[in-house]
Homo-oligomer: A and B are copies of this chain.
């Protein structure tokens, strides 16, 4: 694809579509929108626009399509794979001004939101209704970003990811047309599933401006537990045994000893320094909950756990999850001057133990410092690689290790990305993972965005 250079005439036209304080070509604004939380290099757009309505998005996109100008949607920049970076310049659409909760329809466990609503802020509001949106990416991402990436997190093991929890969307297509796929029923066999096609498409097929999300009731009772093990293999075997037991944990997280040590150093968490599982169980009754935790403890003991602490209170539990969510941040802080790459593979549950061992062995082979943790109950492994990314020799080792680990996950029947999306860094694995299906994906892309203006450079090489 070739794109037209962005001209003064383009800027003048766009200024006619949105108020003057919501369009900027200022260097500081372009800089803010040039990088996310990933290690990918910066890309500068020509202009940043802050739309306030679907109609404005539609008008901007329709113009961009006519003029062949790239359009890249932007949430809040917490993505980890370069997903919202304007690789081919053009327009960044920042959804900061579309942050309204439109309706809380508690009676249907639904909330209608604009795409710029932030996940954690929304859940604070929803908590007053006893409800929450369960996919939990850790960061205070926007709902639009979560939909783009099919984000998930610690509670996905029980509640599913974003894709499983979206009922209906408002989407601006490449030509500016607006569609509203989905409905408010619990289930449907009517027509093609456009909602699931759009979720996870990273803004490459259309730009989501509004969504109806499916909510869950905040459990009345929960119990968090922390178990430690002599080896990471015993911890991962425990994950498998718990998932097969019918217990249905609300969270089941693995942290290797390196990650636990960093959390202790950075947050004075007082965790036992060993391979660790963070767990959470929920229940309608105290009795049932206790039984679940007792069963979990027995499974941990069968795998020779060193310790099992349960029944932590709400505050300690929130602290636990805060530490887990901040693990990546703590690792960064604990390694001043280094750069970081975060791997994100997912494999079949039965292969999780092998996958973790393979990943750790691989970086050891290359002599790379790494931290392993992840949403173990989903078979999702994160491995943070730390090093000096200006050192080309190191980068070569890093890229070889990354390639081996991700390829291994795919060979096991898994996926190149469990939750961070394809973005820039995972494009090279798409052919390996999807085979002939990749052609069909590309055909869909070409049909829905013939000028290639929507988030170009992402998803496909």
Q: List chain A positions with a Cβ less than 8 A from chain B.
A: 105, 107-110, 149-152, 156-157, 161, 163-164, 173, 177-181, 183-194, 196-197, 199-201, 205, 217, 219-220, 240, 244, 246-247, 283-285, 287-288, 291-292, 295, 346-350, 377-380, 409, 412-422, 426, 429-430, 433-438, 440-441, 443-445, 447-448, 459
Contact = CB atoms under 8 A, between A and B. Distances in A.
Contact of A179 (B184, B291, B350, B440): B440
Nearest to A375: B187
Contacts of A436: 177-180
B183 A433 contact: yes
Given A181-B440, A285-B291, 20 more contacts: A105-B350, A107-B349, A108-B348, A149-B189, A157-B186, A161-B189, A181-B437, A186-B348, A189-B417, A190-B415, A190-B416, A190-B434, A193-B193, A197-B197, A219-B246, A246-B284, A284-B291, A284-B295, A440-B448, A444-B447
A194 to B, nearest CB: 6
A350 B108 contact: yes
B246 A217 contact: yes
A430 B191 contact: yes
A422 B190 contact: yes
A192 B437 CA distance: 9
A291 B444 CA distance: 50
The 8 A-B pairs with the shortest beta carbon distances in the complex, nearest first, are: A288-B288, A184-B413, A196-B196, A107-B350, A188-B415, A185-B346, A186-B378, A108-B348
A217 B179 CA distance: 39
A185 B447 contact: no
Nearest to A156: B187
A185 B379 contact: yes
A186 to B, nearest CB: 4
Given A180-B437, A196-B197, A108 B189 contact: no
A434 B409 CA distance: 38
B149 A191 contact: no
A111 to B, nearest CB: 13
Contacts of A448: 440, 443
Nearest to A344: B189
Contacts of A378: 185-187
Given A246-B217, A291-B285, A380-B186, A193 B163 contact: yes
A67 B198 CA distance: 34
25 contacts: A109-B244, A109-B349, A163-B196, A164-B164, A179-B437, A183-B414, A184-B414, A185-B379, A185-B380, A185-B409, A186-B348, A186-B349, A186-B379, A188-B417, A188-B418, A189-B418, A189-B419, A190-B416, A190-B422, A190-B426, A191-B200, A191-B459, A197-B197, A217-B246, A288-B291
A192 B205 contact: yes
B422 A189 contact: yes
A215 B417 CA distance: 23
A409 to B, nearest CB: 8
A37 B349 CA distance: 40
B194 A437 contact: yes
Contacts of A178: 436
A190 B417 contact: yes
Given A349-B107, A436-B180, A193 B200 contact: yes
A53 to B, nearest CB: 17
A150 B85 CA distance: 37
Contacts of A191: 200, 422, 430, 433-434, 437-438, 441, 459
A443 B447 contact: yes
Nearest to A81: B189
B440 A194 contact: yes
Interface centre among A152, A192, A246 (most CB of B within 10 A): A192
